[in-house]
Structure 1
Amino acid sequence: MKKSLELLAPAGTWQALEAAVNAGADAVYLGGKAFGARAYADNFDRDELSRAVYFAHMHGVRLFVTVNTLAEDREMRELADYLAFLNNAGVDAVIVQDLGVLRLARKIVPELPLHASTQMTITNSAGVRFAAACGMVRAVPARELSLADLRAAAAEGLEIEAFIHGALCVCYSGQCLMSSLIGGRSGNRGRCAQPCRMPYALTDREGRNLLGGAAGAYLLSPCDLNALDVLPQMIEAGVCSFKIEGRMKRPEYVAVVVDAYRRAIDGCLAGNCRVPERDRAAVEQIFNRGFTTAYLRGRPGRKMISDSRPDNRGVIVGRVESLRRGRAA
Structure 2
Amino acid sequence: MATLDSIESTDAAVAAPPLPELLAPAGNWDCAKATVENGADAIYFGLDRFNARMRAENFTEADLPELMAFLHRRGVKGYVTLNTLVFPTELAEAEQYLKTMITAGVDAVIVQDVGICRLIRHLSPDFPIHGSTQMTVTSAAGAEFAKELGCQLVVLARECSIKDISKIQAQLSDRNITLPLEVFIHGALCVAYSGQCLTSESLGGRSANRGECAQACRMPYDLIADGERVDLGDRAYLLSPQDLSGLDVLPDLIQTGVSCLKIEGRLKAPEYVANVTRVYRQALDRLSARGWEGGSGDRLEAEDKGSALTHATGKSNSPTHLPTHSSTLPPSEERYQLEMAFSRGLYTGWFEGIDNQALVHARFGKKRGVFLGEVTRVTDDAVFLKAQAPIKAGDGVVFDDGHPAEKEQGGRIYQVDAVGDETRLKFGRDALNLRRLRPGNKIWKTSDPALDKEIQQTYSGDQPRFTRPIAIEVHGSAGETMTAIARDGQGHIAQATSTMALVEAHSKPLTGDRLAQQLGRLGNTPFHLASLDNQIQGDVMLPVS
- TM over 0.5: same fold? yes
CA distances 1:254-311 after superposition (whole Å, capped 9, x unpaired): 0010000001111222326564221111101111011111111111121111411111
What does residue 294 of structure 1 align with? Answer: 349
Aligned residue identity for 1:69: T
What does residue 269 of structure 1 align with? Answer: 288
What does residue 107 of structure 2 align with? Answer: 92
**8 Å Cα contact 1:84/1:109 also seen in 2:** no
Is structure 2 residue 365 aligned with structure 1 residue 310? yes
What does residue 200 of structure 1 align with? Answer: 221
What does residue 220 of structure 1 align with? Answer: 239
Aligned residue identity for 2:123: I
CA distances 1:78-136 after superposition (whole Å, capped 9, x unpaired): 11111011000000000000011111011012221000000000010111111112221
Which blocks of at least 5 consecutive residues in structure 1 are unaligned? none
CA distance in 2, matches of 1:250, 1:315: 18
**1:13-52 correspondence to structure 2 within 5 Å:** 13-52=28-67
Is structure 2 residue 208 aligned with structure 1 residue 187? yes
CA distance in 2, matches of 1:304, 1:274: 20
More helix per residue: 1
CA distance in 2, matches of 1:310, 1:22: 31
CA distance in 2, matches of 1:130, 1:49: 30
Aligned residue identity for 2:284: I
Deviation, 1:3, is 3.0
Is structure 2 residue 163 aligned with structure 1 residue 143? no
CA distance in 1, matches of 2:42, 2:115: 26
Question: Kindly, what percent of the aligned residue pairs are identical?
Answer: 47
What does residue 267 of structure 2 align with? Answer: 248
CA distance in 1, matches of 2:18, 2:246: 20
More strand per residue: 2
Describe the SS at the equivalent of 1:322.
strand
CA distance in 2, matches of 1:327, 1:277: 29
What does residue 179 of structure 2 align with? Answer: 158
Is structure 2 residue 230 aligned with structure 1 residue 210? yes
**Aligned pair in 2 of structure 1 residues 11, 306: CA closer, same or farther (>3 Å)?**
farther
What does residue 17 of structure 2 align with? Answer: 2
CA distances 1:142-192 after superposition (whole Å, capped 9, x unpaired): 000011211122342200000000000001111110001111100110001
**8 Å Cα contact 1:94/1:113 also seen in 2:** yes
CA distances 1:41-66 after superposition (whole Å, capped 9, x unpaired): 00000122221111110100000000
Is structure 2 residue 94 aligned with structure 1 residue 79? yes
CA distance in 1, matches of 2:335, 2:48: 34
Greater CA drift, 94-103 or 272-281: 272-281
What does residue 197 of structure 2 align with? Answer: 176
**8 Å Cα contact 2:349/2:359 also seen in 1:** yes
Q: How many residues align?
A: 327
Q: Which has the larger radius of gyration?
A: 2
CA distance in 1, matches of 2:154, 2:376: 51
Is structure 2 residue 65 aligned with structure 1 residue 65? no
**8 Å Cα contact 2:38/2:274 also seen in 1:** yes
**1:92-131 correspondence to structure 2 within 5 Å:** 92-131=107-146
Describe the SS at the equivalent of 1:82.
helix
What does residue 236 of structure 1 align with? Answer: 255
**8 Å Cα contact 2:250/2:299 also seen in 1:** no
TM-score by length of 2: 0.59
Describe the SS at the equivalent of 2:181.
strand
CA distance in 2, matches of 1:204, 1:132: 44
Deviation, 1:205, is 5.3
CA distance in 2, matches of 1:327, 1:101: 60
Which blocks of at least 5 consecutive residues in structure 2 are unaligned? 1-15, 173-177, 293-297, 301-330, 385-545
**Greater RCO, 1 or 2 (C-alpha within 8 Å, sep 6+):** 1
**8 Å Cα contact 2:245/2:348 also seen in 1:** yes
Describe the SS at the equivalent of 1:161.
strand
Deviation, 1:217, is 1.4
CA distance in 2, matches of 1:306, 1:42: 31
TM-score by length of 1: 0.96
Coordinate RMSD, CA, aligned = 1.4
**8 Å Cα contact 1:95/1:115 also seen in 2:** yes
CA distances 1:192-241 after superposition (whole Å, capped 9, x unpaired): 101000110102354x322432x511110010000001111111111110
